[in-house]
């Protein structure tokens, strides 16, 4: 009964206080366990007493037994009442302590609540201030951005102004240079007439590229070659002819090798061959025509005219290119058209002497460079010639 009352009292205090400190509850439970152990000890002692009573009833009479039992029960009731009194006092002490702690907790909690309210209010105020400051900062950032843009534009304008300033300096320098150059040019212009006069008096006339109208030896210069002398001659067919080969039976041998025919040999005053390389350079620059004068041993004179004449380069073997024939000597060079110049004729049994534009399979053709006497082909037969002149000039326009 006492145990149930104690448990009920504990539950009542718990429900009444609603909140109990954990450490206080643990201490109270420990006291409760101590009380339960005390009650259990008393119950065990009562049980022992009951057993002793039952065992002594046989040897005692009823009167003595009742007296002893009553005395023992009275003693136990007193002990139990004392225990309950002590326990109730203890419980009341615990309750008082609990009330004091609850009051302390309430005071602390109230202080905490006040502090929380103060903190919350401060937090709200701080939040408001922060929002206001953020708004101010955002406005300031916008203003800073505007200022930055203005600074950028000003810097850009400053750079442009500096560039214009530099360009202006350059322009002034260039203008000064131009003025100096104009001044120098004016000075040079003043000297031009004097220099022209000096040049006219000191500069030789430009060399002609062909013969003039005069007879005799003349210095000419054609494109791609150095200046060289030529023999110029007038004939019954006009003037300005360059003599490229001349024979007059003065005994000059034309049995020469390839290099001699390439560079030329002989003398303009007697007999000579002008040279294939120089003939190539002359006929390469423009269109030329060929005129050949022939005199046989009976002093009959013949001529052969070709309206186009050109000699190819060394690489091409100084190939002969001829145009249309006109004259009274027959077309004695017909078989030489498009032939390369050569100084050897290995296919002929009797090898002709001298170099010429020989056809490949004929050994009985014109050869005006034959060793001692030139020959001209007349209708398949060869006629010896006493004198020969081969002449070229730029092709004349015909009206």
> For residues 361 and 344, is the Cβ–Cβ distance under 8 A?
no
The beta strand positions in 222-264, using DSSP E, are: 228-235, 238-247
- Average pLDDT for consecutive 10-residue bins of the chain (399 residues)? 53 51 65 76 77 65 67 84 82 84 86 88 89 88 89 89 86 84 80 66 64 84 90 82 92 91 95 97 94 95 96 97 96 94 72 82 85 86 93 81
The reply to whether 246 and 353 lie within a common domain is yes
The reply to whether 259 and 390 lie within a common domain is yes
pLDDT at res. 336:
94
Instruction: Please give the backbone phi and psi of residue 142, each rounded to the nearest 5 degrees, phi first.
Output: -60, -45
C-alpha triplet 344, 391, 322: angle, nearest 5°: 60
User: How far apart are alpha carbons 143 and 151 in whole angstroms?
Assistant: 12
User: How far apart are alpha carbons 131 and 134 in whole angstroms?
Assistant: 5
**At which of 125, 148, 178 does a domain end?**
125
pLDDT at res. 9:
55
The reply to whether 237 and 349 lie within a common domain is yes
Pick the closest to residue 314 from 273, 285, 349, 342 (CA basis): 342
Cβ partners under 8 Å of residue 202, min gap 6: none
At 160, list the tokens. Answer: 């442009």
Count of domains in the chain?
A: 2
pLDDT at res. 202:
47
Q: Is residue 276 part of a domain?
A: yes
Tell me the pTM: 0.50
How many angstroms separate the first and last alpha carbons of the chain?
167
Task: Give the DSSP per-residue string, 173-201.
Answer: HHHHHHHHHHHHHHHHHHHHHHHHHHHHH
pLDDT at res. 203:
46
Cβ partners under 8 Å of residue 254, min gap 6: 247, 271, 273, 353, 354, 355, 369, 370, 371, 372
Print the domain residue range for 99: 2-125
pLDDT at res. 393:
94
The reply to whether 366 and 241 lie within a common domain is yes
The reply to whether 117 and 222 lie within a common domain is no
Q: Is residue 164 part of a domain?
A: no
């Amino acid at each position: 009964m006492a145990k149930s009352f104690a448990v009920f009292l504990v539950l009542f205090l718990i429900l009444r206080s609603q909140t109990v400190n954990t450490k206080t509850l643990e201490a109270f439970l420990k006291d409760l366990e101590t009380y339960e152990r005390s009650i259990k000890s008393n119950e065990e002692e009562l049980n022992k007493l009951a057993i002793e009573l039952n065992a002594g009833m046989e040897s005692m009479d009823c009167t003595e037994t009742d007296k002893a039992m009553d005395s023992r029960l009275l003693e136990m009731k007193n002990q139990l009442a004392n225990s309950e009194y002590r326990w109730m006092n203890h419980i009341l002490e615990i309750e008082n302590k609990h009330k004091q702690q609850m009051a302390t907790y309430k005071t602390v909690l109230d202080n905490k609540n006040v502090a929380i309210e103060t903190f919350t209010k401060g937090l709200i105020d701080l939040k408001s201030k922060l929002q206001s400051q953020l708004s101010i900062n955002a406005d300031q950032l916008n203003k800073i951005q505007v200022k930055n843009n203005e600074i950028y534009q000003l810097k850009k304008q400053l750079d442009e102004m500096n560039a214009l300033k530099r360009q202006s300096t350059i322009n002034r320098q260039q203008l000064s240079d131009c003025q100096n150059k104009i001044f120098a040019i004016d000075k040079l212009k003043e000297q031009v007439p004097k220099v022209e006069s000096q040049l006219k008096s000191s500069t030789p006339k430009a060399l002609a590229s062909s013969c003039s109208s005069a007879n005799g030896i003349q210095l000419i210069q054609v494109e791609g070659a150095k200046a060289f002398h030529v023999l110029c001659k007038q004939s019954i067919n006009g003037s300005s002819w360059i003599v490229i080969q001349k024979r007059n039976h003065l005994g000059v041998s034309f049995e020469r090798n390839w290099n001699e025919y390439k560079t030329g040999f002989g003398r303009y005053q007697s007999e000579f061959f002008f040279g294939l390389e120089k003939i190539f350079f002359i006929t390469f620059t423009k269109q030329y025509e060929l005129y050949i004068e022939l005199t046989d041993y009976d002093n009959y004179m013949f001529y052969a005219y070709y309206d186009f004449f050109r000699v190819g380069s060394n690489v091409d073997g100084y190939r002969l290119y001829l145009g249309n024939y006109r004259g009274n000597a027959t077309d004695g060079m017909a078989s030489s058209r498009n032939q390369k110049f050569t100084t050897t004729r290995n296919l002929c049994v009797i090898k002709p002497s001298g170099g010429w534009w020989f056809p490949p399979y004929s050994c009985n053709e014109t050869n005006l460079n034959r060793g001692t006497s030139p020959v001209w082909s007349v209708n398949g037969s060869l006629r010896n010639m006493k004198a020969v002149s081969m002449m070229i000039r730029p092709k004349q326009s015909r009206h």
